[in-house]
Amino acid sequence: MEDQILRMTNISKSFPGVKALDNVDFSVRRGEVRCLAGANGAGKSTLMKILSGAYHMDSGSIIFNDKEVINPDTRYCRNIGIAVIYQELSLIDSMSVAENIFLNNYKHEKKANVINWKYLENNAGKLLKDFNISVAPSVLVRNLSMGHRQLIEILKAIAIDAKLIVMDEPSSTLSKEEFEALLRIIKVLKNKGITIIYISHRLEELFMIGDSITVLRDGKHEFTGEISTITQNDLVRLMIGHNVIPFMKKTSTKQQETAIRLENVSTSSIKNIDMEIKKSEIRGIYGLVGSGRTEVLRAIYGVDKLQEGAVYYSGSKINFQKPYDAIKHGIGLLPENRKTQGLIIVHPVWENAVLVSFNKFLKNFILSYKRIFSEVRTYKDRLAIKTPSLTTKVSSLSGGNQQKVIIAKWLIRDCKILLVDEPTQGIDVGAKAEIYGILEDLASKGKTIIIVSSELDELLAVANSISVMYEGKLIKTFESDELNVEKIQECALTGRIDQ
């Protein structure tokens, strides 16, 4: 029998109204890198939360390191060597790297209750050196890039002698270089005999990182096997049960009238941007993290102040001071972060959906809830938003459905221009295809869409043309007949176009 560090058997877990996990078996060999894949709502996070002690299972058993784990809490799981690194990092911005690594874990100290700062920094320094991370232990976490923060989070797990590290979507905010650093560190961890469970929506990554893979679907175990035995297409089929819609060649919108034009626009983080976007066009904006792609949207939307230049909208110059002005002119934003910027998570579906269009539902100056609900219901059906009811809090919807609620919000407002920032981050393949379908449909009905993404595949799937940003400058806009993966990638990485 092989040496298994973790054996979870017959795990079941229900939430009110949903069976999140149904008799799932999940075992991992010591020292392997196991990928865990599945569409949103497949049960990956629930399974990992049970493993970390954050949730209690309804039935089943967990054997970790040859010992049965009974009724664990998070602290207990941490002590026996299970560390989970969540998408939202748990670092404290105002503390140094060293203090973060050893936070609430001063067992290396000789004197129990006194912190020896020098000792702490030396230890942190050793760890950083071991993993070849060029960060000083005394630097405040606030000053680190996302990639480095991710690595510090991993060191934190190593500092508590974790035997098993779960990484939940570690790469969603990483640049290519940062991802490579992560890859390197995972190799080092593996050599030290540490087991890793890796969760990601980026399928190609799983093939670069994993030894083996487990796929969950609708709370059930679907597949476990060596990763070399399957292809990416197999994986997608396992995850969603059918093939994804292949992307179609885009038509040119050059003949259309201009919807919005940026002339020499500069803000504190972008420089001299010229851009012209037509009616019915879906314009992609591509670039590395920090290239200024989001900031272009912020400039149009009136969040960032223009230092020079101007935005022309349906022929006239506009000067938006705040989002309120942009919305009045029919411009809507789907922000990068659904939960912290796009939605009011504690409010129900209907209220989020009408947040920008209350005035549309006034009858004698009073809100007509009848009209609100019938309108929201219409859009719920049109966009196929899966929710138990319109009064359900959006916090309990899946990512894809949350994003659809935000789209509904701007459609109810009847926006002419949609600014879309990373619309499918953390959303499963099936819902992604649906969202692309919605965006294409909107464009074909005359709306203009500007979409920012860190995934080129996504832009190639929906956009008519793609503008590439590099260090705050617009390098080139690739029209529909020039779309070419290698050229666009090269342009985004180097900031140059080779003819």
Partner 1 sequence: MKVAENGVLTAKLKKYNLLLLLAFFVIIASILSPRFLTFQNFFNLLQQSAIVGIVAVGMTFVILTGGIDLSVGSHVAFAGMISSIFSKNLGLGVFPSFVLAILCGAIFGSLTGFFITTFRIPAFITTLAMMTSLRGLALLVTNGKPIFGLSDAFRKLGAGFVFDVIPISGLVWIVITVLAFLLLKYLPFGRKFYAIGGNESAAYLSGIRTKYITTAAYTISGALSAFAGVMLASWLSTGQPNAGSAMELDAIASVVIGGTSLSGGVGGVLGTFGGVMLLTIISNILNLVGVPSYFQQIVKGIIILLALIGNNLLTQRKN
Query: Contact between 452 and partner 1 (CB under 8 A)?
Result: no
Task: Determine whether 452 is exposed, middle or buried from the number of CB atoms within 10 Å of its CB (0-12, 13-18, 19+).
Answer: buried
Q: Note whether 493 binds partner 1 by CB under 8 A.
A: no
Q: Does 323 bind partner 1 (CB under 8 A)?
A: yes
Decide whether 76 or 358 has the Cβ nearer to partner 1. 358
Whole-angstrom CA distances from 314 to 263, 298, 455 are 14, 19, 30
Confirm or reject binding of residue 341 to partner 1 (CB under 8 A).
yes
Told to check if 351 binds partner 1 by CB under 8 A, we report yes
Considering only residues 163, 201, 221, 409, which one is a binding residue for partner 1 as defined by CB under 8 A?
409
CB of 464 within 8 A of CB of 252? yes
Q: Supply the minimum distance, in Å, between the C-beta of residue 327 and partner 1.
A: 4
CB of 316 to partner 1, least distance (A): 20
DSSP 373-404: HHHHHHHHHHTT---S-TTSBGGGS-HHHHHH
375 binds partner 1 (CB under 8 A): no
Asked if 57 and 13 touch (Cβ cutoff 8 Å), the reply is yes
- Indicate the length of the chain as a whole number: 499
141 secondary structure, DSSP code: G
Stretch that binds partner 1, among 10-18, 93-101, 129-137, 446-454 (CB under 8 A): 10-18
Q: Which stretch binds partner 1 (CB under 8 A): 75-83, 242-250, 269-277, 335-343?
A: 335-343
Characterise 294 by phi-psi region: left (phi > 0), alpha (psi -120 to 50), beta (else). alpha
Neighbour count for residue 421 (Cβ, 10 Å): 24
* Whether the Cβ atoms of residue 8 and residue 27 lie closer than 8 Å to each other: yes
Q: Residue from 97, 157, 199, 326 that binds partner 1 (CB under 8 A)?
A: 326
Number of Cβ atoms within 10 Å of the Cβ of 205:
18
CB of 436 to partner 1, least distance (A): 23
Q: Establish if 188 lies at the interface with partner 1 (CB under 8 A).
A: no
Residue from 284, 80, 84, 78 nearest 197 by CA? 84
Element (H, E) at 166: strand 164-168
**Position 107 contacts partner 1 (CB under 8 A):** no
> Measured from the CB of residue 204, what is the shortest distance to partner 1 in angstroms?
32
- Residue 362 interacts with partner 1 (CB under 8 A)? yes
Question: Coil, helix or strand for 467?
Answer: strand
Q: Which of 95, 318, 367, 390 binds partner 1 (CB under 8 A)?
A: 367
Which listed residue (340, 374, 378, 444) binds partner 1 by CB under 8 A? 340
Given candidates 1, 2, 3, 17, which one binds partner 1 under the rule CB under 8 A?
17
Would you say 150 or 401 has its CB closer to partner 1? 401
Could you tell me the smallest distance in angstroms from the CB atom of residue 416 to partner 1?
Answer: 15
Q: Give the DSSP H or E segment for 460.
A: helix 456-462
CB 324 within 8 A of CB 359: no
* Cα gap 343→399, rounded to integer Å: 11
Task: Confirm or reject binding of residue 15 to partner 1 (CB under 8 A).
Answer: yes
Binders in 21-60 for partner 1, by CB under 8 A: 54-56
For the CB of residue 85, give the shortest distance to partner 1 in the complex, in Å. 21
Q: Which is nearer to partner 1, 147 or 332 (CB)?
A: 332
14 touches partner 1 by CB under 8 A: yes
Token representation of residue 294 = 């989001």
Q: Is the dihedral of CA 107, 112, 113, 118 positive or negative?
A: negative
Write down the least CB distance from residue 56 to partner 1, Å: 6
Contact string 56-95 vs partner 1 (x = CB under 8 A):
x---------------------------------------
Exposure string over 117-154, b if 16+ CB within 10 A, otherwise e? eeebbebbbebbeebebebebeeebeebbebbbbbbbb
Which residues make Cβ contacts (< 8 Å) with residue 361, sequence separation at least 6? Answer: 354, 367, 368, 371, 372, 375
Give the binding range for partner 1 (CB under 8 A) out of 121-129, 209-217, 272-280, 334-342. Answer: 334-342
394 Cα distance to chain centroid: 17
Which one of 202, 237, 347, 473 is in contact with partner 1 (CB under 8 A)?
347
Residue 335 sits in the site that holds partner 1 (CB under 8 A):
yes
Q: Does 345 bind partner 1 (CB under 8 A)?
A: yes
Half-sphere CA count of 256, side-chain side, radius 13 A: 21
Q: Confirm or reject binding of residue 342 to partner 1 (CB under 8 A).
A: yes
Closer CB to partner 1, 341 or 444, in the complex: 341
Q: Which amino acid is at 402?
A: Q
Nearer to partner 1, 250 or 298 (CB): 298
Inter-residue contact 102 to 123 (CB < 8 Å):
yes
> Which of 246, 328, 381, 499: binder of partner 1 (CB under 8 A)?
328
Stretch 258-297: interaction string toward partner 1, x if CB under 8 A? ----------------------------------------
Judge residue 390's burial from the number of C-beta atoms within 10 Å of its C-beta, 0-12 exposed, 13-18 middle, 19 or more buried: middle
Q: Is 348 helix (H, G, I), strand (E, B) or coil?
A: strand
- Which C-beta is closer to partner 1: that of 17 or that of 246? 17
Residues that bind partner 1 (CB under 8 A): 14-17, 54-56, 301, 303, 322-324, 326-328, 333, 335, 340-347, 351, 355-356, 358-359, 362, 365-367, 409
